[in-house]
Copies of this chain bind each other. A is one copy, B any other.
């Protein structure tokens, strides 16, 4: 009679061992889209026998299905034809949500990652109290579900991306530019009110996840995502996992120093990269010397630069140089094979992006191996939300795979 409640809910140390095979196969199928069992064996290193066993479990659980697609008859070989497998979209509906400055964007995808509905809501204030944020989230969740013709209970999970320092293990928000308070148990607050699991993470990390699952980082296990929006963000993917550092927060690339005693940053320090390339930094500089009407949007500044305005051109020139320097530093430190530049409106910015990339490549230490590839990827709020959904899909997959019973015959 000595057992306490705490002792009872002991975690079995072997439980993750079992499901690892299933999860690995599921991930392989996801990243391939359609793939035959024999190729899964090839990709995972499992024997065909094991692949048969695992896939039959996943089939029985309804997570995957045989795809009798006549799209690609592939190279018509001899022998028994391969049966390709794919994720079963209907298995789950999963939501992703991006909290931006004044808008919240949400979208719901199926288990394959195909968008079912999306929705966007505008709010008057950027920074709100925790309870207010929870209310807003509940509101958009219900609104989006209604738009899709179902209700909350039709969802299997929700991923939330917001800027700031977030511990994604505990769904805890150390700090966010969307919240008035520090140290918010956002995950716990939402879990009380929603009938499905909620996963919170820094938005740059979610971009990395999304690129890994659906995007340009699908073939790569080591890549970086640099986001350029209001601020500068960094997602680090190492060996297929998002690297989060010791304290569980995202990498603070934006506050990397690129100039001793440099420009003043939002964070109160000097010489931060963000203080040269962030939206507010560009506007601040322009309005500091312009006598007429002040700029209110970077787009105006871009237009001015395109029109030959010396001040605007000079500002973008320096921003490009600084950003290139930051990129070069990342490359020199990480030696990734791919860097993805993701941002809302890269078309607007490519004036300085191109220069930055060029400069970065020049500033990389020469090796005999080829330098990393740098790709840009335009990201609207919808894509950020999709990143959140991608994260939730991964999490839900992990949870679901645990419940798969082992008696598929």
A interface vs B, CB < 8 Å? Answer: 13, 45-46, 165, 174-175, 182-183, 222, 234, 236, 238, 243-247, 249, 251-253, 255-260, 267, 269, 271, 321-322, 325, 328-330, 332-337, 362-363, 365-369, 372
Shortest Cβ-Cβ A-B pairs, 3 listed: A245-B335, A246-B337, A247-B369
Interface pairs (15), CB distance under 8 Å: A174-B368, A222-B245, A244-B335, A245-B335, A247-B335, A249-B369, A251-B332, A252-B333, A253-B332, A255-B365, A257-B325, A257-B363, A258-B258, A259-B259, A260-B321
Q: How far is the CA of A151 from the CA of B334 in the complex (A)?
A: 41
A260: chain B residues at CB < 8 Å are 258-259, 321-322, 325
Determine the residue in chain B with the shortest Cβ distance to A271.
Answer: B325
- Contact of B246 with A329 in the complex, beta carbons under 8 Å: no
Q: How far is the CA of A13 from the CA of B247 in the complex (A)?
A: 35
A236: chain B residues at CB < 8 Å are 333
Determine the residue in chain B with the shortest Cβ distance to A265.
Answer: B365
- Contact of B333 with A253 in the complex, beta carbons under 8 Å: yes
Q: Is the interface of A mostly helix, strand, loop or mixed?
A: loop
A332: chain B residues at CB < 8 Å are 251-253, 255-256
Q: How far is the CA of A334 from the CA of B329 in the complex (A)?
A: 13
Q: Which of B183, B244, B271, B363 contacts A269 (CB 8 A)?
A: B363
A46: chain B residues at CB < 8 Å are 13
A366: chain B residues at CB < 8 Å are 267
Q: How far is the CA of A256 from the CA of B364 in the complex (A)?
A: 9
Q: How far is the CA of A333 from the CA of B249 in the complex (A)?
A: 10
Q: How far is the CA of A267 from the CA of B366 in the complex (A)?
A: 9
Per assembly, the copies of the chain total: 2
**CB within 8 Å for A234 and B269 given contacts A260-B321, A369-B247:** no
Determine the residue in chain B with the shortest Cβ distance to A222.
Answer: B246
Q: How far is the CA of A260 from the CA of B277 in the complex (A)?
A: 15
Q: How far is the CA of A325 from the CA of B272 in the complex (A)?
A: 10
A267: chain B residues at CB < 8 Å are 365-366
Nearest CB of B to A307, in Å: 26
Determine the residue in chain B with the shortest Cβ distance to A368.
Answer: B174
Nearest CB of B to A184, in Å: 12
Nearest CB of B to A175, in Å: 8
- Contact of B368 with A246 in the complex, beta carbons under 8 Å: no
Nearest CB of B to A50, in Å: 11
A222: chain B residues at CB < 8 Å are 245-246
Determine the residue in chain B with the shortest Cβ distance to A221.
Answer: B246
- Contact of A256 with B368 in the complex, beta carbons under 8 Å: no
Nearest CB of B to A71, in Å: 32
A330: chain B residues at CB < 8 Å are 333
Nearest CB of B to A368, in Å: 6
A337: chain B residues at CB < 8 Å are 246-247
